[in-house]
Amino acid sequence: MHPMRTPSIYSQDDPISAALKPPPEETDAERIARQHAESEAKRVSEQIDEDLREERERMKKRKGDVKLLLLGQAESGKSTLQKQFQLMYRPHSIEQERSSWRTVIYFNVVRSLKQILTVLEAWDDSLDDLDQPPVDDTQSVAARKAKANGIADQPSPSTSLLNGSVIQSSPGSVAQSVATSSGSHPAVAKDGPAQIAHLRRRLAALVAMDAQLADRLSGGITVSGSGKGGVYVRSGWQSRTIDKLKGKQAANGKQSLPRESYSSDILTTDPLVLEVARHLQTSEDEIHDLWNHSTVKGMISKRRLKLDEWSEFFLQNISRVAAHDYLPTTDDILHARIQTMGVAEHTFDVNIHGKMVTWHLFDVGGARGQRHTWVPYFDDANAIIFVAPVSAFDQYLEEDPRTNRIDDSLQLFTQICSNALLKSVHLVLFLNKTDLLRAKLERGLKVRKYITSFGERSNEYETVIQYFRAHFLQVHRRNNENRRVLYTHFTSVVDTKATQRIIGNVRDSIFRGYLQSAALV
């Protein structure tokens, strides 16, 4: 080192120090600017260090958490199952949301009315050709009109499970005989096309509110291919709807309410919800008459009109839902339908034999266009509940009307079982909607008409459910390198008592696996 060099914190041998050295002819202003920049850089750097430290802490904490994915096709019942977890482990949060479900239920009712009226219109409000087979869409203007709306019943392809052979059933085979008075008495005003035209006029204003309700729920987001014109919502839609209203109230000079008390107070002030409620109240008789109209009943029996389960549930309960002081019951919330968009995380503290473990439940959107969002969650998942709706044997995907929904579930289950990222995940299968399966079979729907490989087996519930179960077990067996166990349950996740018992069972089996893996670490 040079003996005459002035002592300095900057070593001239170090290139980094040299670079940091202040310029030799720095003015006061430049010095202040430089020092300011340096202290800002230091602050940012410290913030990054702090963030990293917090992230490490969080990761350390989350290491002991259980991550559970709910997977399955659209409408399989994943979000409904999530609500059952919520009821079990965070019941107060359901109370907070209770009133916001009114918007969803009103939307479900309005959409159902719209669907009924559109299908009726496509068939000219009558069942006159009751004894004729359903019209081929190449022959009928009405059927084409209905097809354009995407909601009418068309002759559907039947399928042989997973073998890829899709056979077009003959249009006539779908027809079922039905006893109704409308065909023989088309001129009776109370029960004929004129009555439907009258109901259509009376319900027009209510039905027209469907777009506004959809907009309110989705927050203005529209997603193509959302099937049946449903709306997608991201997690947290309840509080977003409420925040929006809170904002409006604040702008009106009203004091915003604390989060805990938003439930009924705020939503009763949403002008849209109030308006729909008013319309529902004054239209209750018309809705009742439409729902009980013999033409509508005939259309349902003939399967020209295929209403979703939630439509039937709310229309059957219309006198309650249309009441001016309607507050959804827990059962209503479980039946309300809204499509999940992306992946919604729900966190619960679960007490297992005295030990509190945080569970992260990931409820995914099941439509084909949503499935790519699942993969990032596979990496560190501990368990999966795969939900397959077994009542869907006579239904086809919204996203692809040629794919039978049971077939899609089996294909999806194959992908999940064979996915390398998931090979050591605890796997649970829910064969869901068993209540609806039972009802369909009791109504006389024949499985073999839709699933050719079912053959001449008996059309009884036990035989059918065991047949479907065997197919899922076979998929699992063929894709089970790690020889893991598959836990299967027959479920109806709208049935709270039965589902909570099964959740307890699943929780214990996941926890046993969790203890074993913790012991291995």
Ligand X SMILES: Nc1nc2c(ncn2[C@@H]2O[C@H](COP(=O)(O)OP(=O)(O)OP(=O)(O)O)[C@@H](O)[C@H]2O)c(=O)[nH]1
- Residues in binding site for Mg(2+): 340
In the bound state with ligand X, the residue whose beta carbon lies nearer, of 128 and 399, is: 399
Site stretch for Mg ion (CB under 5 A), options 76-84, 178-186, 226-234, 306-314? 76-84
In the bound state with Mg ion, the residue whose beta carbon lies nearer, of 180 and 235, is: 235
CA 371 to CA 415: how far, in whole Å?
Answer: 11
CA 92 to CA 114: how far, in whole Å?
Answer: 34
52, with CB counted inside 10 A (0-12, 13-18, 19+), is exposed
Q: Are 500 and 368 in contact (CB under 8 A)?
A: no
Q: Are 117 and 283 in contact (CB under 8 A)?
A: no
In the bound state with ligand X, the residue whose beta carbon lies nearer, of 74 and 503, is: 74
- Percent helix, strand, coil in the chain, to 5, is 55, 10, 35
Q: Are 203 and 283 in contact (CB under 8 A)?
A: yes
Q: Find which of ligand X, Mg ion, none residue 494 binds, CB within 5 to 8 Å per kind.
A: ligand X
> Counting contacts by CB under 5 A, is residue 311 touching Mg ion?
no
In the bound state with ligand X, the residue whose beta carbon lies nearer, of 78 and 304, is: 78
Return the residue of 94, 223, 436, 445 that touches ligand X, per CB under 6 A: 436
Q: Are 423 and 443 in contact (CB under 8 A)?
A: no
**Site size for ligand X (CB under 6 A):** 25
> Counting contacts by CB under 5 A, is residue 491 touching Mg ion?
no
Site stretch for ligand X (CB under 6 A), options 6-14, 56-64, 479-487, 489-497? 489-497
CA 189 to CA 199: how far, in whole Å?
Answer: 12
Cα separations in angstroms, 263 against 117, 213, 270, 320, 335: 33, 18, 12, 19, 19
> Counting contacts by CB under 5 A, is residue 79 touching Mg ion?
yes
CA 300 to CA 376: how far, in whole Å?
Answer: 42
> Counting contacts by CB under 6 A, is residue 337 touching ligand X?
yes
> Counting contacts by CB under 6 A, is residue 238 touching ligand X?
no
> Counting contacts by CB under 5 A, is residue 115 touching Mg ion?
no
Return the residue of 68, 69, 76, 416 that touches ligand X, per CB under 6 A: 76
Burial 461-494 (b: 16+ CB within 10 A, else e): eeebbebbbebbeebbeeeeeeebebbbbbbbbb
Cα separations in angstroms, 217 against 231, 234, 236: 7, 9, 11
> Counting contacts by CB under 6 A, is residue 366 touching ligand X?
yes
Return the residue of 100, 340, 370, 382 that touches Mg ion, per CB under 5 A: 340
Return the residue of 67, 77, 89, 182 that touches ligand X, per CB under 6 A: 77
Q: Find which of ligand X, Mg ion, none residue 492 binds, CB within 5 to 8 Å per kind.
A: ligand X
Q: Give the single-character DSSP code of 367.
A: S
| Residues annotated in a binding site | 334-340, 432-435
> Counting contacts by CB under 5 A, is residue 218 touching Mg ion?
no
> Counting contacts by CB under 5 A, is residue 86 touching Mg ion?
no
Return the residue of 309, 371, 418, 446 that touches ligand X, per CB under 6 A: 309
**Site size for Mg ion (CB under 5 A):** 3
Closest contact distance (angstroms) between CB of 440 and ligand X is 11
Q: Which two tokens stand for residue 334?
A: 């479980």
Q: Are 393 and 465 in contact (CB under 8 A)?
A: no
In the bound state with Mg ion, the residue whose beta carbon lies nearer, of 79 and 99, is: 79
Closest contact distance (angstroms) between CB of 358 and Mg ion is 22
> Counting contacts by CB under 6 A, is residue 334 touching ligand X?
yes
In the bound state with ligand X, the residue whose beta carbon lies nearer, of 310 and 413, is: 310
> Counting contacts by CB under 5 A, is residue 492 touching Mg ion?
no
> Counting contacts by CB under 6 A, is residue 498 touching ligand X?
no
CA 146 to CA 470: how far, in whole Å?
Answer: 37
DSSP string, 375-441: GGGTTT--EEEEEEEGGGGG-B-SS-TTSBHHHHHHHHHHHHHH-GGGTTSEEEEEEE-HHHHHHHH
Residues that bind ligand X (CB under 6 A): 72, 74-80, 309-310, 334-335, 337, 339-340, 365-367, 432-433, 435-436, 492-494
Residues that bind Mg ion (CB under 5 A): 78-79, 340
